[in-house]
Structure 1
Amino acid sequence: MTAIMLAIFAVLLALSMPVGYALIIASGGAILWHGGTPTVLAVVKLFQPTQSFPLLAIPFFILAGSLMMSGTLGKRLVQLAAALVGRFHGGMGQVTVVGSTIFGGVSGSAVAEASALGSMLIPWQKREGYPAGFAAAVTASSATIAGLIPPSIPLILYSTVANVSIAALFTAGILPGLMLAAGMMVACYLSGRIRNFPRLTDRSHFPPFGKLLVSALPALAMPLFIVLLLRAGIATPTEVSVIAVFYALVVSAVVYRDLTFKSIYAALVGTVVTTGIVMLVITASSLVGHVLITERVPTMVAQWAQQTLGTMILIILMMNVIMLVVGMFLDLPAAILLLGPTFVAIGQAIGLDPIQLGIMICINLSIGLFTPPIGTTLFIGAAIARVPIGVVAKELWPFYLVAAAVLGLISYVPAFTMY
């Protein structure tokens, strides 16, 4: 049954069918072909994930991010980042990385971040004299930091697969996210120094730094606010997501005073569309998971890895390679939901902590977002910069090195996630 499902899925992907529909058709077709599962049970399995209370956090966090990013906040955060690092070599690239780190604490979505920041910073970098390919590359790669900084949507999805604490995952993702940001800033600095990129020395048209910092504090405080509420046990993740929406409304209406009915409507529409896409993949992955569990695929793969590879180092290396390859072809939510059950079983077999495994999975699959042939943030960056994908890909190699280095540390040094 699993072989039939994978074959159908591969054919449908080759025909450019959306992943969610391809998963449903492939798993449903395999179930009908095999005939061991009643149709009613398959339908129940398909809709069962929609009844999950923790998953309600996803649309609310998306809405909170949309409300915060729809007004003047984005411009102020970019100005703050420019005041901090714009004067250094590769300064505009570093501004993008700092902006991505801050925006990651607001949106929780790499795709939303690449679209919002890219539309502001890629044209700005081009005007300052930066190559369009480099501007798109730094935007595409740094946007993936949102997958680690709270409120990370990928970490919420993984928590439902592995049945682990969202608060623990949010806390564990902060240091790796900051490591990724620091490494990418170094890559921008070295590229700017070697290639003599312009530096942002004239800041006379910016407000004073102190004023910028104060105006950005409500946005900077949001991820800290979320983690504190969760770690202190004051509210559940779903309750925190609702509080985050209220917080975003108050900040936009009272502090920044740019909340309008038009912006609320746009944020609601964007949230519905994004949530619909994510939930389609979640429901489809539930049916796929039923097929895999019925045939004991996760258990058999875990046993094979232990017997064949033997050592924990080689098993972790195998997991990383598989995730990197899968991430090149599948969107992050679908890949997490598909690989999660199998890799959690392998992790339990070799004594790998599920929190550490969750961060590994998010970093691996985030790399796929800016890797050809189907990198979502890569396509967004190239489209905004109006350059071919190949031009952007040539500029990405320093960021691949940084991501690989951080991934290696997270995979083999548990202290970076279990602090």
Structure 2
Amino acid sequence: MSAVALAILATFLTTMFGGMPIAFCLGLASIIGLLVADLPLVVLAQRIIAGTQSFSLLAIPGFILAGDLMMHGGLSRRLVRFCQCLVQHVTGGLGMVTVLSATFFAAISGSAPATTAAIGGIMIPEMEQRGWRRDFSAALATASGPIGQMIPPSIPLIIWGVVAEESISQLFLAGIIPGLLVALGLMLVCYIAARRSGQIRASSRTTLSELLKALDAGKWSLLAPLVILGGIYGSVFTPTEASAIAVLYALIIGVFVHREMKIADLGRIVVASMRTSAIICFIIAIASAFGWLIAIEQLPTAIAAAILSISDNPIVILLILNLFLLFIGAIMDNIAAMIILGTTLTAIGAQIGLDPVHLGALVVINLAIGMATPPFGYSLFVAAAISKLSIERISLALWPMLLVSFVVLMLVTYLPAVTLFLPSLMR
């Protein structure tokens, strides 16, 4: 390994484990690498700008703003109410409401932290009031959040599509079945937990009139995914254009239909969304420069060769790849990880004959699990802030839900049809 590569890795690992924000870790490591390589620092600025010059990346601030508008416009609350009417009478039904609501909201926001915040803020106090342990409720909101990264419109799938130069529409389709499997698994966890506790009783079955009333109140919330995804797969607009349509839709429904959002509120909501978008775009820009630097030092090639040298059996290689990605997802921001490791992962996938869409889904699902995995899972931080519980306490209640995600990950890994069935229909 060259002196430049050693300097880059040493700086990055030292600063990251020292608690520095990931974007600054990447930026400082890039600067040190350029100095050691005796390259002008202006290269860093050039690569930062080049890393953001993609039309598809415009979808990210669009979907973030759409998710915030829908949350403040009352759409998430109506989704929860409709889901309550569907499953509240089942044993463990209130926990299932959290999962089902998160699944619906995932088809609107595309973000794990946003899904955890929108649904957890409503359901964690509600579940505790009905007899569920607060740590279990917070863990369930944490584990449900990453469904937002699997089901379209997923922000990480958009980023992987840009990095790997793959069809974002096909990647969106590849995430649907895994996301639904995780949701079903989490609902099963709720059922088992309810049966074991003996305290959480099923509510009375919703009457037809109550169901129709909830459906009428939530019809605009339920229509949102159909508008967004139907437009994409009906070739009416691209995923990037869909983000703008989602913003317009959320604005009209929140202000003029539900009337829970005032024009005066828009400035505050837009500023909050801009902060989130700026953080993500800053990480993308810095990670692009860092990724370019390690690419010219041939680190991705060395990592790929090291993994492939362990075994020539694709089953073993896929298992090692999963373990590697789960570790990366638990300690590193998933957006930065995809950009930095994109070249390495695509090289490994090509070597073992992995379908590029299958590989993309595999990468995103691994890193989505990392969003709920200690110590650096963003959804975990969001749930801790909402529930006012420590990360350690939530983590102890989280393990059955993480086990569900791991089982789905193994299905996705070794049964390609789980991710490729829907894209094959599109093809």
Whether TM exceeds 0.5 here: the answer is: yes
Amino acid at match of 2:27: I
Alignment of 1:183-332 (within 5 A): 183-199=185-201, 201=203, 208-332=210-334
Deviation per CA, 1:353-397: give whole Å up to 9, x if none.
121111111211111122212222112223322222222222112
Q: Deviations over 1:323-358 (max 9, x none)?
A: 111111112222222222211111112111121111
1:335 pairs, out of 337, 344, 347, with: 337
Matches of 1:223 and 1:205, distance apart in 2: 26
Name the residue aligned to 2:24: 21
Q: Is the 8 A contact 1:133 1:382 kept in 2?
A: no
Match of 1:33 among 25, 33, 36: 36
Pairwise mapping of residues 344-359 of structure 1 onto structure 2 (< 5 A)?
344-359=346-361
Letter in 2 for 1:54: S
Superposition deviation, residue 291 in structure 1: 1.4
Provide the rounded CA distance (Å) in 2 between the counterparts of 1:266 and 1:101. Answer: 27
1:173-184 maps to which residues of 2 (within 5 A)? Answer: 173-184=175-186
> Distance between the aligned counterparts of 2:265 and 2:195, measured in 1?
40
- Gapped runs of 5+ residues in structure 2? 422-427
Alpha-carbon contact 1:155-1:166 (below 8 Å) kept: yes
Deviation at 1:169, TM superposition (A): 0.9
Match of 2:166 among 164, 167, 171: 164
Separation of aligned partners in 1, 2:226 and 2:251? 18
Maintained 8 Å contact 1:155/1:362: yes
> Which of residues 73, 76, 93 in structure 1 aligns to 2:75?
73
8 Å CA contact 2:300–2:341 kept in 1: the answer is no
Q: 1:11 aligns with which of 7, 10, 14?
A: 14
Does the 8 Å CA contact 1:298/1:346 hold for their aligned counterparts?
no
Alignment correspondent of 1:135: 137
Q: CA deviation at 1:257?
A: 2.6
Cα distance per residue 1:59-82 (max 9 Å; x no partner) = 111111111111222221111111
Q: Distance in 2 between matches of 1:380 and 1:360?
A: 24
Going from structure 1 to structure 2, the CA distance change for 1:341 and 1:225 (only over 3 Å counts) comes to farther
Q: Deviations over 1:209-241 (max 9, x none)?
A: 112113323222322332332223322222121
User: 1:117, CA displacement in angstroms?
Assistant: 1.5
1:270 deviation in Å? 1.7
- 2 CA distance for matches of 1:342 and 1:223? 34
Determine if contact 1:360/1:410 at 8 Å carries over to the other structure: yes
Query: Alignment partner of 1:50: what SS?
Result: coil
C-alpha deviation, 1:42, in angstroms: 2.6
Q: CA deviation at 1:179?
A: 0.7
The answer on whether the counterparts of 1:137 and 1:395 sit within 8 Å (CA) in structure 2 is yes
Structure 2 partner of 1:152: 154
Of 343, 368, 371 in structure 2, the residue corresponding to residue 369 of structure 1 is 371
Out of 129-138 and 294-303, give the one that drifted further: 294-303
In 1: Cα distance, 2:310 partner to 2:296 partner: 23
Partner of 1:400 in structure 2?
Answer: 402
The equivalent residue for 1:119 is: 121
2-structure distance, mates of 1:252, 1:365: 32
Give the match's secondary structure for 1:417. helix
State the identity %: 39
The code of the aligned residue for 2:7 comes to: I
1:208 counterpart SS class: helix
More deviation, 23-32/231-240: 231-240
User: What secondary structure sits across from 1:234 in the alignment?
Assistant: coil
Q: TM-score, normalised by structure 2?
A: 0.93
| Deviation, structure 1 residue 84 | 1.1
Does structure 2 conserve the Cα–Cα contact (< 8 Å) formed by 1:150 and 1:226? no
Kept in 1: contact 2:82–2:214 (CA 8 A): yes
Distance 1:163 1:204 in 2: 47
Q: Distance in 1 between matches of 2:342 and 2:405?
A: 21
Does structure 2 conserve the Cα–Cα contact (< 8 Å) formed by 1:81 and 1:99? yes
Unaligned runs of 5+ in 1: none
Deviation at 1:153, TM superposition (A): 0.8
The answer to whether the 8 A contact 2:151-2:179 is kept is yes
Counterpart CA distance in 2 for 1:399 and 1:202 is 27
Counterpart amino acid of 1:219? S
Note closer, same or farther for the CA distance 1:161–1:255 as it changes in structure 2 (3 Å cut). Answer: same
Partners of 1:418 and 1:88 in 2: CA distance: 32
CA contact (8 A) 2:95 2:187 kept: yes
Which sits farther off after the overlay, 223-232 or 341-350?
223-232
Q: For 2:20, give the aligned amino acid.
A: M
Q: Label 1:197 to 1:393 Cα distance change in 2 as closer, same or farther (>3 A).
A: farther
Distance of aligned partners of 1:228 and 1:75 in 2 relative to their CA distance in 1, 3 Å threshold: closer
Q: CA deviation at 1:197?
A: 4.1
Contact 2:78-2:221 within 8 A present in 1 as well: no
Shift of 1:145: 0.3
Supply the AA of the counterpart residue of 2:384: A
